A and B are shown apart, each in its own frame.
Chain A
């Protein structure tokens, strides 16, 4: 058995999710290699070399990989796959884009959003927006998995001594071209790995109203999240959406402001350690998952909270 983890990258740097995926890989038997794909990813390679538990860092650094398109990345993964029993990536938008395509080319299924490894062939994953947890077993010769970042502890980003192996394959994407990107710039902690998350819903009323969420987040050095309704209404950008179809978070503290608590939202945050809800409707379902619920008008309670912190 041998595992290959496909590294997650953020603009040439290794993204924190990779450390959690390595945590999951550590629960499988056998050695583990890490595949770093991109262009000008020296920084990512430097960080990858010292990750504990990684034997080899396979590097595909070429202009054709700069845009990290599923079309050619999947072919690269397939080219590297022989010899591996497990291929793992984060259940991030890039992992979800890439891995099923690679799995299909390998003629195998994928197990999505793994939250527990029971054996090298048996895994647990949420279904029905997290309202049920399935235990599944795969007979495929190579197991292709995407891993839920919040379900596995991150490995320490130091202490390892991996060998770096440059890959020769240069595979072009012929039918896909990157036109542009609009990436959010933020000084705040990253949403999926933050210790504290403050989330706002439709109850914030407007883009201006949503400022209150940012102000509280500033006080707590927290990341900012949002419900789908808040994103749809244009209060914030899509990358902040928490839920079944947005990001999954499990911080130590999750504060939901003006969020009703629809099942699709709960799917993305109910594994948080402590949940606080402030909502003016005493019957809002968010209170069912809140450790501390405050029935109040958020426009009064939140400024008071900021003041008192």
Chain B
């Protein structure tokens, strides 16, 4: 079985983003970028399935400008066998649907048995691409997954849902999106990086894939959130209680 893993280049999760003073967007100049944490978990899950003999090839794919090759290298260093860069312009007006349309075309070419994505990007926080991709392809979906097991008829996934946990059996091919507790991604060592340099990154684009991807909702403005009014330090449990009673919350 072949596994396709779409990954996204995003701001490093430790960085606190700032809004540009003209409110046009957030300021990403000179900000540390990384592979989206959920995508990293997806790569790890795919590589483990191959190591366990449940899959024979792991293909990482990213949509975006040239810089996404850095994150594709990370995926290759983690153990992906090859990568595909779907090039789009720096200022391409893509939304989750557009990304899903490009990925759907790629899935039709590559015919993977499983597509493993992150459940959400930590920048856009959309939580949409996997579900959209599954819809476009007519594949079953297992979202927010914290456990998975390949079984005879397909794959069983444990989903983290509001009420607790849910187990679904999906027929293959299927789309799965990862939650945090699926695994802890491996640490990349220097030899892995060396080896990854010899692995191929293929190049394609919307035109070659025969897709004119949909634009996303228009971004009109970005504002910082309402700041919270400054609080105070209390010296004792007694003072805390007094304050809470004054504030009439207990």
Per-position binary interface string of chain B over residues 163-181, scored 1 when its CB falls under 8 Å from any chain A CB and 0 otherwise = 1111111110010000111
Q: Is the CB of B237 within 8 A of A135?
A: no
When C-beta atoms are compared, the residue in chain A nearest to B247 turns out to be A274
**Chain B residues closer than 8 Å to A129, beta-carbon distance:** 122, 125
Stretch at the interface among A25-33, A37-45, A199-207, A292-300: A292-300
Q: Is the CB of B218 within 8 A of A97?
A: no
Distance in angstroms between the alpha carbons of A228 and B87 in the assembled complex: 35
Tell me whether A292 and B219 are in contact in the complex, defined as CB-CB below 8 angstroms, given that A97-B131, A129-B122, A238-B165 are known contacts: no
CB of B100 within 8 Å of the partner chain: yes
For the complex formed, measure the closest distance between the CB of A103 and the CB atoms of chain B, giving whole angstroms. Answer: 7
Which of B11, B146, B217 is the one whose CB lies under 8 Å from A238?
Answer: B146
When C-beta atoms are compared, the residue in chain B nearest to A184 turns out to be B164
Distance in angstroms between the alpha carbons of A141 and B54 in the assembled complex: 43
When C-beta atoms are compared, the residue in chain B nearest to A277 turns out to be B231
For the complex formed, measure the closest distance between the CB of B12 and the CB atoms of chain A, giving whole angstroms. Answer: 12
When C-beta atoms are compared, the residue in chain B nearest to A8 turns out to be B162
Q: Is the CB of B162 within 8 A of A92?
A: yes
Which of B165, B220, B229 is the one whose CB lies under 8 Å from A137?
Answer: B220
CB-contacts of B212-228 with A (<8 A): 214, 216-225, 228
Tell me whether A184 and B244 are in contact in the complex, defined as CB-CB below 8 angstroms, given that A126-B125, A129-B125, A134-B222 are known contacts: no
When C-beta atoms are compared, the residue in chain A nearest to B26 turns out to be A132
Q: Is the CB of A231 within 8 A of B181?
A: yes
Distance in angstroms between the alpha carbons of A301 and B241 in the assembled complex: 12
Distance in angstroms between the alpha carbons of A98 and B131 in the assembled complex: 8
Q: Is the CB of A127 within 8 A of B124?
A: yes
Tell me whether A122 and B220 are in contact in the complex, defined as CB-CB below 8 angstroms, given that A180-B167, A293-B234 are known contacts: yes
Q: Is the CB of A292 within 8 A of B143?
A: no
CB of A157 within 8 Å of the partner chain: no
When C-beta atoms are compared, the residue in chain B nearest to A176 turns out to be B140
CB-contacts of B55-84 with A (<8 A): none
Q: Is the CB of A101 within 8 A of B225?
A: no
Q: How many residues of B contact A (CB 8 A)?
A: 80
For the complex formed, measure the closest distance between the CB of A274 and the CB atoms of chain B, giving whole angstroms. Answer: 5
Distance in angstroms between the alpha carbons of A224 and B127 in the assembled complex: 25
Q: Is the CB of A128 within 8 A of B237?
A: no
CB of B51 within 8 Å of the partner chain: no
Distance in angstroms between the alpha carbons of A128 and B247 in the assembled complex: 31
CB of B114 within 8 Å of the partner chain: no
Residues of A within 8 A of B (CB): 10, 69-71, 74, 92-94, 96-105, 107-113, 122, 126-140, 173-184, 192, 196, 220, 228, 231-232, 237-239, 244-245, 247, 252-253, 263-264, 270, 273-276, 287, 289-296, 301, 304-305, 308-309
What 18 additional pairs, Cβ within 8 angstroms, besides A99-B131, A308-B238?
Answer: A70-B131, A70-B143, A96-B127, A96-B143, A100-B132, A103-B97, A104-B131, A131-B16, A131-B225, A135-B221, A140-B217, A176-B141, A178-B166, A228-B180, A253-B244, A289-B231, A291-B232, A292-B234
